[in-house]
């Protein structure tokens, strides 16, 4: 289930740039499931859909924050 506060980013490089600009350490792999959370809320996530395609999601409210 997708978190409603997350926005899908279609480009992996752009997703990594968003993480970097927000001060978030990038995951070791772009193909593994991964989540970055602050307290109880997921702020960034990589997951596979039912077809096995990798999807990138980020909380737009965190962009540019450090």
- Number of structural domains (the chain) is 1
- Give the model's confidence band at 41: pLDDT under 50 very low, under 70 low, under 90 confident, else very high: confident
**How far is 25 from 5, CA to CA, in rounded Å?**
20
Residue 28 confidence (pLDDT) above 60: yes
Rg of the Cα atoms in the chain? 11
Q: How confident is the model at residue 64 (pLDDT cuts 50, 70, 90)?
A: low
Q: Let me know if 59 is exposed, middle or buried by CB neighbors in 10 A (0-12, 13-18, 19+).
A: buried
Is residue 38 included in any domain, yes or no? yes
Q: Which pLDDT value is given to residue 7? A: 94
* pTM, two decimal places: 0.84
- Residue-wise pLDDT for 3-27, tens only, equals 778 999 999 999 999 999 888 888 9
Domain assignment of residue 51, given as a range: 6-62
Q: Is residue 1 part of a domain?
A: no
What pLDDT is attached to residue 63? Answer: 66
Instruction: Determine the longest span between alpha carbons in the chain, in angstroms.
Output: 34
Kindly state whether residue 17 falls inside one of the protein's structural domains: yes
């Amino acid at each position: 289930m997708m978190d409603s506060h997350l926005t899908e980013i279609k480009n992996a490089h752009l997703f990594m740039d968003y993480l970097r600009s927000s001060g978030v350490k990038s995951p070791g792999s772009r193909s593994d499931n991964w989540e970055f959370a602050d307290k109880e809320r997921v702020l960034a996530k990589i997951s596979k859909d039912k077809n096995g395609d990798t999807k990138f999601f980020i909380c737009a409210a965190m962009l540019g924050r450090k």
